[in-house]
A and B are shown apart, each in its own frame.
Chain A
Amino acid sequence: MASVRALRIGLCAALCVSAIACSGGGGTTAASGSSSGGVGGSSSSSGGTSSSSSSSSGGTSSSSSGAGTGNVAAVIIDQGPSNASVNTLFATVTVCVPGSTTSCQTIDHIQVDTGSYGLRILAPVLTLTLPVETVTSGNSLVECTQFVDGYSWGPVVSVDLQIAGETAHSVPMQVIGDPRFTNIPTACSSAGVTQEDTVATFGANGILGVGPFELDCGDCDTVTHGLYYACAATCSETTVPTTLQVANPVTHFPADNNGVIVVLPSVAAGGASNVSGSLIFGIDTQTNNASGTQTVLTVDQNAELLVNFNGQAFAQSFIDSGSNGIYFTDKSISTCVAPPNDPSSQIVNFYCPANTLTLPVSIQGLNGIMTNNLTFDVGNAETMLNNNFDAYPQLAGTVPAGNAGTFDYGLPFFFGRRVAVAVENDKTSVGTGPYIAF
């Protein structure tokens, strides 16, 4: 750890620009660092920064976000703006009014999520006024985004997104909790629990969905799913042309647009704080994102694949930077006990084995390719969480019994790996998306 930390501090110092405050490489044990600290340097295991021979084509104001250069954005795992995040990966983005290079705002702590699609920013942190998309009726296009534990309501706006040296022009994104659209249809609130429209409830200033699909809906141009609404005085469900659906912004880059590669260092077994890594744009588009001999697993129409664990096949499994642990079913492993002063604690849904377990698992893509000799570790969640770190490679929990076919391999999968996520129908030198390779 010490060498990784030293390297990180050094890189942070080298990469810091005046617009972004570095967190200063706070210790690896304290979780009390600044919640708004900027993004640190890139990971020691990164493929290096781009030679930027072609990546500069999209940049108007180049690396004004300060959080990376060329096709490499710096990412960090820290406690986030809610001071409570665990295993949550963040990046910094710059958003601009379409066509402008001056009406721009740089926003840190945008969660990097390979399990969703599109950029969403919380209204309270957004100072720009971005133009709201309209549907043919002339009414405003507003989305009811459904996450498993809640919903997020807000308009679809057009934005120029800059991240590292990449720019996506006029891409549809969502503003969550926009005070101009407070009349939430019952049909939207009826599909969720919590409205996640504040930084505290969302746990981030926004989310950057860079999963293996292009759109957050897909067939909403012909089918209504309770996601998109046309709003005037009141709102009614509407179909939406694909060009207006909230999109994975990577697919809107002029180049480096066929996927992303997440590079994170190994994390000490007991956990660590302020873990830095890289988000590389494009696959086989530059020297720093070339494919090698990695395992390429294609995913199905739900971005899911097959996990074999403990003699059982879990057909609705996924590898996902937006999940904060490894979630699976194994009734032989002890779960945690709620502390006496918090009897309803959700810690009971996490595993607390007496000793760390190393368990074999195999992951199989739709293409039939299967991993070899893969194992993962399950630590004692209660013990590790008491350390108040930000990143825990051994944090594992139970899958809700209603999702018995799922093995959810979250952010711990990415530690010590270089994980490529290729977008649907896009080709790389080793396959056609949607796939995950590592």
Chain B
Amino acid sequence: MPLFQSDALKRSEAVKRAALGVLFIAALGPRIASATLGEPEVTVQTDVVRAHASIKSSQDRANYRVHEIQLPSGTVMREFVAPNGNVFAVAWQGPTRPDLRQALGQYFDAYALAPRSKLADRRHVQIQQGDLVVQAGGHMRALSGRAYLLSAIPSGVNVGDLH
């Protein structure tokens, strides 16, 4: 069941074709993850190389594809790709955050400029700025979070599964 044929995937030792029994959505095409929210699932190789990262796995689930990327810092990123080929969500978990400027792309400024909660305590972030939702939590040495575009979530996808 050869799902992906890209050179980057062939070279990745960590590729696990774990999408057993999951329908392959032809519309997704033979691409790999871009690290940028709202942009097409291209430039993967550049991103992965630039971050000295590796793709651990790529899975097709109902209505979206998810790439799991292992960063050298120990943090794992997941990128969620819609059938139209665009990244609609990114999530992270690990000792430190990934490069969110790269991961959020054009949405980074909205994230950075979002008003700060009066009840902020260095442990929680819940931001909605227009189409962008950013949620994060954790504590020193164990941070996690996610960002997604409300309007880009494919129909039938449960937001709770995006982590």
Binding site for B on A (CB under 8 A): 84, 86-88, 115-117, 145-150, 186-187, 189-194, 196, 201, 203, 209, 211, 213, 216-218, 223-227, 302-304, 316, 318, 320, 322-325, 327, 344-347, 349-350, 397-404, 406, 408, 410
Q: Is the CB of A86 within 8 A of B124?
A: no
Is B117 at the interface (CB under 8 A from chain A)? yes
A203-B120, A327-B137, A406-B137 are known contacts; what are 15 more A-B pairs with Cβ within 8 Å? A115-B123, A117-B140, A148-B137, A217-B141, A303-B139, A320-B123, A323-B121, A325-B121, A327-B123, A397-B124, A402-B135, A402-B145, A402-B146, A408-B137, A410-B121
Q: Is the CB of B119 within 8 A of A346?
A: yes
What CA separation (Å) do A360 and B160 show in the bound complex?
24
What CA separation (Å) do A356 and B41 show in the bound complex?
48
B110 to chain A, nearest CB (A): 11
Is B111 at the interface (CB under 8 A from chain A)? yes
Q: Is the CB of B126 within 8 A of A346?
A: yes
Which of the 9-residue segments B8-16, B26-34, B91-99 touches chain A? B91-99
Q: Is the CB of A216 within 8 A of B96?
A: no
Q: Is the CB of A302 within 8 A of B136?
A: no
What CA separation (Å) do A84 and B121 show in the bound complex?
11
A410 to chain B, nearest CB (A): 7
Q: Residues of A contacting B117 with CB < 8 Å?
A: 149, 346, 349
What CA separation (Å) do A433 and B142 show in the bound complex?
18
What CA separation (Å) do A194 and B114 show in the bound complex?
9
The interface on chain B, measured as residues whose beta carbon lies within 8 A of the other chain's beta carbons, has a size of 45
Is B73 at the interface (CB under 8 A from chain A)? yes
Q: Residues of A contacting B91 with CB < 8 Å?
A: 402
What CA separation (Å) do A191 and B140 show in the bound complex?
14
Q: Is the CB of B97 within 8 A of A115?
A: no
1/0 per position for B113-143, CB-CB distance to A under 8 A? 0111111111111100000000111111111
Q: Which of B102, B121, B137, B159 has the most CB of A within 10 A?
A: B121
What CA separation (Å) do A363 and B26 show in the bound complex?
46
Q: Which of B101, B138, B139, B159 has the most CB of A within 10 A?
A: B139
A51 to chain B, nearest CB (A): 34
Is B150 at the interface (CB under 8 A from chain A)? no
Q: Of A191, A216, A225, A323, which one neighbours B123 at CB under 8 angstroms?
A: A323
Q: Residues of B contacting A404 with CB < 8 Å?
A: 160, 163
The contact sample of 22 A-B pairs, CB cut-off 8 A, is A86-B121, A117-B141, A146-B143, A148-B143, A149-B122, A191-B99, A196-B122, A213-B141, A216-B140, A223-B74, A303-B141, A316-B144, A323-B123, A325-B121, A346-B117, A350-B119, A399-B137, A400-B135, A400-B137, A401-B160, A402-B163, A403-B144
Q: Is the CB of A349 within 8 A of B126?
A: yes
Q: Residues of B contacting A224 with CB < 8 Å?
A: 72-73
Q: Residues of B contacting A87 with CB < 8 Å?
A: 121
Q: Residues of A contacting B142 with CB < 8 Å?
A: 302-304, 316
Q: Is the CB of B139 within 8 A of A318?
A: yes
Q: Is the CB of A148 within 8 A of B123?
A: yes
Q: Of A227, A322, A345, A397, which one neighbours B96 at CB under 8 angstroms?
A: A227
Q: Which of B42-74 contact A (CB under 8 A)?
A: 72-74
What CA separation (Å) do A224 and B75 show in the bound complex?
11
Q: Residues of B contacting A217 with CB < 8 Å?
A: 95, 141
Q: Residues of B contacting A211 with CB < 8 Å?
A: 139-140
Q: Of A187, A223, A327, A399, which one neighbours B72 at CB under 8 angstroms?
A: A223
Q: Of B73, B114, B163, which one neighbours A223 at CB under 8 angstroms?
A: B73
Is B112 at the interface (CB under 8 A from chain A)? yes
Is B162 at the interface (CB under 8 A from chain A)? yes
Q: Residues of B contacting A318 with CB < 8 Å?
A: 139
Q: Is the CB of A191 within 8 A of B98?
A: yes
Is B100 at the interface (CB under 8 A from chain A)? yes
Q: Residues of B contacting A323 with CB < 8 Å?
A: 121, 123-124, 139
What CA separation (Å) do A86 and B124 show in the bound complex?
14
Q: Of B95, B100, B126, B139, which one neighbours A400 at CB under 8 angstroms?
A: B126
Q: Is the CB of B139 within 8 A of A116?
A: yes
Given the interface pairs A194-B116, A401-B160, A404-B163, the reply to whether A410 lies near B123 with Cβ below 8 Å is yes
Identify the closest chain B residue to A346 (Cβ).
Answer: B117
Q: Residues of B contacting A146 with CB < 8 Å?
A: 96-97, 140, 143
